[in-house]
Amino acid sequence: MSLDLGREILDLTLEHLFLVMLSMAIAAALAIPAGILLTRRTFLQRWVLGFANIVQTVPSLAVFGFLIPLPFLGGIGKHTAIIALVLYALLPILRNTLTGILHVDPAVRESAIAMGMTGRQLLWEVELPLATRTILAGLRIATVTTIGTATIAAVIGGGGLGVFIFRGLASVDTTLLLAGAVPAALMALAADRGLEWIEHKLSPV
Amino acid sequence: MSPLVSFRQVSARIGQKDILHNLSFDVEAGETLVLLGRSGSGKTTALKMVNGLLLPSAGDVLIEGTATPAWDLIRLRRRIGYVIQDAGLFPHFTVAANVGLVPRLEGWPPRDIDARVQQLLTQVGLPPAQFATRYPRELSGGQRQRVGVARALAADPPLLLLDEPFGALDPVTRVELQQQFLDLRQGLNKTALLVTHDVREALLLGTRIGVLHHGRMVFLGGRAEFLKARDQEVQAFHACLAENWRETI
Ligand SMILES: Nc1ncnc2c1ncn2[C@@H]1O[C@H](COP(=O)(O)OP(=O)(O)OP(=O)(O)O)[C@@H](O)[C@H]1O
Ligand SMILES: [Mg+2]
């Protein structure tokens, strides 16, 4: 393996990591509050979950394709890639936030209300801590998926490890394919283990 | 002065089902009214109407003369100590955090909360050194129940709601805690509404006894009246009293 290839692997891995982390941060910042709001709006739950489900079923390559012609959001480049990755990551986080909170033992919730907690205290002191593990599991699933999906971002100029994969496909070069696939797989594995460890550390019960 | 708690022709409906029918009674400051009834008679439901967890579908529940919907319910609930049936502890809080919850919500200084928690745990027979840092899942049923009692007492509320507070205890500890409850009531002039299905506990702790049957109050009166009452449901409880005595002898 040449020095140049090693150097490029490092660069693209970092770029990949950046794509994933930024997308995850945006997705979490949107989906967790949305999930919390949804627990208070029963009638909206079906609609929002339905929409998120539909997004999830569209093949990722097609999502990238649909986004390209859109003004502002679309076009070629990193921002389009990030928007697509965010759309994909929303559902697992949203769903797990919702189920995590809705599955808090009703007796514990009632007990909190009976002790005179306000709605906000109920959320921060009881519901969120007891749902932490489920929410983190959603984040973990979304992160691992996003690391894989982000390889497709290269199609629309998003960069990342997908660059190797597509170059390898075009030139039928196994080394290049591996240079993209192996770091991505390792990253997914590390994210899975790392987030699982945090889940265990943070779970209150 | 108006009674501390007053039920005026209160009915309760959960979903399509009427749980309580036309309930009327007062709890005067300083007394312990025991609600006695079989399982499913509506005792817990009646307690939940006092702190506004449930609102009447008809009639009024008045606390210090004000109907529950007109109260600031957060404030009301923090002034009512509630021992929840089966304890209802927070699984992610330590014993100390469970007991100190309402004082903390009320903004007590941490040192005062600590001192209060220590005092209460000692009082209910759970040495703080051993129990304060444990989680509810690390306790036996009876120990959890005692934590529930300590939590209800923590902010020194003038009114106590106790839902079978001594149910899961061994007979020795139960008698101890019942005795403590009597002392506490005498010393601090607490008002209490206590739920039980144990007729002997009702006679021991109640200054008055109300008997619930299918969501109706079929009897309300003092001990002597209770023992003389002719109502069928009350007599059913007399019968268990006799059974119990026979066992004891
Ligand atoms: N959330 C609810 N939805 C529907 N029915 C309920 C609900 N809560 C209570 N009930 C019904 O109301 C009736 C009274 O219940 P409640 O809990 O007040 O009884 P209880 O006297 O406290 O019984 P126990 O001694 O077993 O605790 C029961 O028939 C019960 O099934
Ligand atoms: Mg009950």
pLDDT tens, residue order, chain A (205 aa) = 576 888 888 888 999 999 999 999 999 999 999 999 988 887 888 888 888 788 778 887 777 777 777 776 667 778 888 888 998 899 899 999 999 999 999 999 999 999 999 999 999 999 999 999 999 999 999 999 999 988 888 888 888 888 888 888 888 888 888 888 999 999 999 999 999 998 888 876 6
Residues of chain B neighbouring A104 (CB-CB closer than 8 A): none
Min Cα separation A136/chain B (Å): 17
Report the chain B residue with the minimal C-alpha distance to residue A118. Answer: B74
- Nearest ligand to the C-alpha of residue B48? 1
Span of A185-194, B171-180, B199-208, B212-221 with lowest mean pLDDT: B171-180
Q: Distance, CA A174 to ligand 1 centroid (Å)?
A: 68
The CA dihedral of A80, A82, A83, A89, to the nearest 10 degrees, is 150
Task: Find the CB nearest B92 among A115, A118, A130.
Answer: A130
Look at strands B159-163 and B32-37 and give their pairing: unpaired
CA distance B87 to A46: 35
Mutate to test the interface with B, among A101, A103, A105, A111 (most CBs of B within 10 A): A111
- Could you tell me the CA-to-CA distances from B96 to A118, B90, B128 in Å, in that order? 21, 11, 8
Please check whether residue A129 touches B, CB under 8 A.
yes
Determine whether the interchain pair A108/B88 forms a contact, defined as Cβ–Cβ distance below 8 Å.
Answer: yes
Give the ipTM.
Answer: 0.89
Query: What are the DSSP calls for chain B, one per residue?
Result: ---SEEEEEEEEEETTEEEEEEEEEEE-TT-EEEEEE-TTSSHHHHHHHHTTSS--SEEEEEETTEEGGGS-HHHHHHTEEEEBTTB---TTS-HHHHHTHHHHHTT--HHHHHHHHHHHHHHTT--HHHHTT--GGGS-HHHHHHHHHHHHHTT--SEEEEESTTTTS-HHHHHHHHHHHHHHHHHHT-EEEEEES-HHHHHHH-SEEEEEETTEEEEEE-HHHHHH---HHHHHHHHHHHHHHHHH-
Distance of alpha carbon A23 from alpha carbon A143, whole angstroms: 9
- Amino acid A1: pLDDT: 57
**Burial zone of B65 (CB within 10 Å; 0-12 exposed, 13-18 middle, 19+ buried):** exposed
Give the model's confidence band at B89: pLDDT under 50 very low, under 70 low, under 90 confident, else very high: very high
How many Cβ contacts (< 8 angstroms) between chains A and B?
53
Determine whether the interchain pair A116/B75 forms a contact, defined as Cβ–Cβ distance below 8 Å. Answer: yes
- What residues in A contact B48, CB-CB < 8 Å? 114
